[in-house]
Structure 1
Amino acid sequence: MKNLILFPGILFVISCKAQTLPLNTSLKDIPANAYVKDLNNELAQYTGTYKTNFQGKEITLYITKNENVLQKSSQKNYYSDVLDIKYIVKNSAGTILQDTQNSTITNIKFYSYYTYPNKNTIVFYYSGTNCRVGWGDIFLKKINDTQISWEYRPDDIILDSSKCTSGTDINIYLPETKDLIFNKQ
């Protein structure tokens, strides 16, 4: 009887181990409920607080690594390790224009979904803010231990204007540029 109970437990542990996959596993190769793990610790080198100034604005990025995050797609659900970015944008007078670091707004998503290890680059999905303004991809390239390079490629200004109410702030505060250097604090 003891062997009968032990055998399913061993099978469960073995099947869980078989479900752990490396970063950049193609979505088509990820079984439902698998775990895409940062096995080579590629993400940790990007974590921290970074700042830059661009066109009279100070931008601060807060990059953290989150493990085992549920990813929902139309094809399947799975789990993965990701980098998550929160940010604060201030104008030259120090007034906060946009703050996702201290905000309770949960609909703004800004997380990594692909890495290019040979290029020291991580690609992020950015959901945009109000009415999904500014949604698109952001590329961060590690230059050295204290600097990253930023490239922001918005896909559209407003995805669905019918969801915008009158008076909604539809400004894009993140820098829409390439090769912007952020310095680690």
Structure 2
Amino acid sequence: MKQILFLLLIIATTCKAQIYPLNTRISDLPLNAYVKDIDGELDKYVGLWKGNWNGKTIYIEMKKVKYNYDEYYKDMILGERKIVNSNGVVEIDRIKSFDYDSPEFKGIFYNFQGEKEFLFSPKNMCKKIASLNITRFTSTQMTLHFEYLPSLYDSSCIHNAYEQQHGDFPINFPKDIILTKQ
């Protein structure tokens, strides 16, 4: 009986030791560790956010999930977007079928300047990735600044002709936007 209690104590201690706070460096994690949002830091980002630009309305649904990185788990914010043009036509709606495996938005990360950001990987854009720097945040508003991250040229990309003609990919996302929590 003492051996069973001792074994249960070791298992409970080991499992508890596998949980680490969000600010833990990845290099310090053992295999299968869980980087957990212990203090609820990510909760303020969760929900539906809405903004307007050039006559369009964007909705971004943010969800907090336990994300699997193969060697460890981490609480993250995942997001998908919906864009409605000024005529009420839905141009993009990824919220309706939220993709937990490959969402357009992932975060929260810190850039080299220590600013919080999301990574934005728009679908069907030839693996282009952008950072969305959070330049201002309150409990009801969030300001995002869009910047492409360096990427390789994809000669088979269906948008190359568009990019050569217009100087940009048809990302359908503003360079700067203020989002209001709904």
Which category of TM-score, normalised to the shorter sequence, fits these structures?
Answer: 0.7 to 0.9
Aligned to 2:72: 78
Identity %: 30
Contact 2:126/2:157, CA 8 A, preserved across alignment: no
Residue 134 of structure 2 contacts residue 144 of structure 2 at CA under 8 Å; is this kept in 1?
A: yes
Match of 2:107 among 96, 104, 112: 112
The one-letter amino acid paired with 2:142 is: I
Q: How does 1:76-155 map to 2 (within 5 A)?
A: 77-103=71-97, 107-114=102-109, 122-141=116-135, 143-155=137-149
Give the letter aligned to residue 9 of structure 1: L
CA distance in 1, matches of 2:17, 2:74: 15
> What is the root-mean-square deviation in Å for CA atoms of aligned residues?
3.0
Q: CA deviation at 1:181?
A: 0.9
Instruction: Write the deviation string for residues 70-96 of structure 1: whole angstroms up to 9, x where unpaired.
Output: 123xxxx11111111111012211111
- Judge conservation of contact 2:141–2:180 (CA < 8 Å) in 1: yes
Work out the CA distance in 2 between the residues paired with 1:126 and 1:24: 21
Unaligned runs of 5+ in 2: 160-168
The answer (yes or no) to whether the contact 1:131–1:159 under 8 Å persists in 2 is no
Cα 1:95–1:161, aligned 2, differ >3 Å: closer, same or farther?
Answer: farther
Which of 149, 153, 156 does residue 162 from structure 1 map onto?
A: 156
1:31 maps to amino acid: P
Find the counterpart in structure 1 of residue 35 from structure 2: 36
List gaps (5 residues or longer) in structure 1.
none
Moved more, 18-27 or 129-138: 129-138
Distance 1:43 1:108, change over 3 A: closer
How many residues are matched?
173
Cα shift at 1:162: 3.4
Provide the C-alpha distance between the structure 2 equivalents of 1:32 and 1:102, rounded to a whole number of angstroms: 34
